[in-house]
């Protein structure tokens, strides 16, 4: 698919839908985890892997260690949800959710996955609900890695043309923050464009 086929209008609609989805996510987290946070306005762009690499290099300092949780979702629309937290943030989250001063590695992993579950479910579910479709989530996996290892060789091969949706989530009281990336590619971009077109028709009908 040509980049030009995903027009500025499509990006605007997606940005609007993502804003709604992010709002939904912060509300759910406030409700479920009693943590009140904010999410930055999402950055959305159509790019290739080099573009994503440069974007990650600019956004995420490479000299730190991160808990990176990746979760695939599929159906009429599919992609990968990636949640990135510094190890300090992740430890603060583990401390908050499990009420342990020095959480163990497994506590931290569990807490990170728990937050990712909420984030992916609320953001993606709300986005797909707006697009009148349903998706299925797959088991997430978390790895601890350095910033510059965020995008592996395998992913470089998997993704060619991608849509990057990125935002930062901050829970000031708990000293927890993280970066969210939603990646989709190829045919899924085409489908997303069609779904947005349908949404636009629905809105202006």
Partner 1 sequence: MTETLNYCTVVFDSLENGTLIIDENCIVWAWNKWLEINTGISSERIIGKNLEEFYPEVDYKGLQRKIRTTLRLSTPTFYDASLSNRFITIPRNKISSSLLNTMQLQVTISPYIPQMKRVMISIHDISDLHELKMTLQQKMAEIVRLNTILTQDRKRIEVLSITDPLTKLYNRQKFNEVLEMMLMRKHWSGENSFGMIIADVDYFKKVNDTYGHQVGDKVLIAVAQTLSQTIRTGDILARWGGEEFVVLVPDVNREKICFVAEKLRCAIEQMTISKIGTITASFGTSLFVHGDTDETLMYRSDLALYRAKKGGRNRVEFS
170 binds partner 1 (CB under 8 A): no
Q: Which stretch binds partner 1 (CB under 8 A): 13-21, 41-49, 85-93, 104-112?
A: 104-112
Rank residues 24 and 86 by Cβ distance to partner 1 and give the closer one.
24
Rank residues 11 and 118 by Cβ distance to partner 1 and give the closer one.
118
SS3 of 152-202: the string is CHHHHHHCCEEEEEEEEEEECCCCEEEEEEEEEEHHHHHHHHHHHHHHHHH
Q: Residue 52: CA atoms inside 13 Å, Cβ hemisphere, count?
A: 26
Tell me the C-alpha distance between 129 and 123, whole Å. 10
Taking residues 30 to 69 in sequence order and writing x for each that binds partner 1 by CB under 8 A, - otherwise, the string is -xxx------------------------------------
Q: Is-contact 83 68, C-beta < 8 A?
A: yes
97 binds partner 1 (CB under 8 A): yes
Identified binder of partner 1 from the candidate list 109, 150, 169, 182, rule CB under 8 A = 109
# chain residues binding partner 1, by CB under 8 A: 21
**Three-state SS at 73:** strand
Q: Is-contact 160 49, C-beta < 8 A?
A: yes
End-to-end CA distance of the chain: 27
137 binds partner 1 (CB under 8 A): yes
- Binding residues for partner 1, rule: CB under 8 A, are 28, 31-33, 97-98, 104, 106-107, 109-110, 113-114, 117-118, 121-122, 125, 137, 139-140
């Amino acid at each position: 698919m040509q980049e030009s086929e995903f027009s500025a209008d499509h990006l605007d609609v997606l940005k609007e839908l993502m804003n709604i989805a992010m709002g939904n996510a912060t509300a759910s987290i406030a409700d479920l985890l009693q943590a009140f946070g904010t999410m930055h306005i999402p950055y959305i762009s159509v790019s290739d892997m080099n573009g994503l690499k440069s974007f990650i290099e600019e956004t995420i300092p490479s000299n730190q260690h991160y808990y990176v949780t990746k979760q695939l979702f599929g159906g009429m629309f599919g992609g990968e949800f990636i949640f990135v937290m510094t190890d300090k943030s992740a430890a603060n989250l583990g401390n908050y959710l499990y009420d342990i001063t020095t959480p163990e590695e497994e506590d931290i992993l569990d807490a990170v996955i728990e937050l990712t579950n909420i984030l992916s479910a609320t953001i993606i579910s709300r986005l797909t609900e707006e697009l009148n479709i349903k998706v299925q989530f797959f088991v997430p996996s978390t790895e601890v890695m350095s910033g510059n290892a965020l995008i592996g060789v395998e992913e470089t091969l998997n993704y060619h043309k991608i849509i990057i949706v990125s935002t930062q989530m901050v829970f000031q009281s708990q000293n927890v923050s993280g970066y969210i990336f939603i990646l989709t590619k190829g045919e899924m971009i085409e489908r997303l464009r069609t779904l947005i077109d349908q949404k636009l028709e629905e809105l202006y009908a």
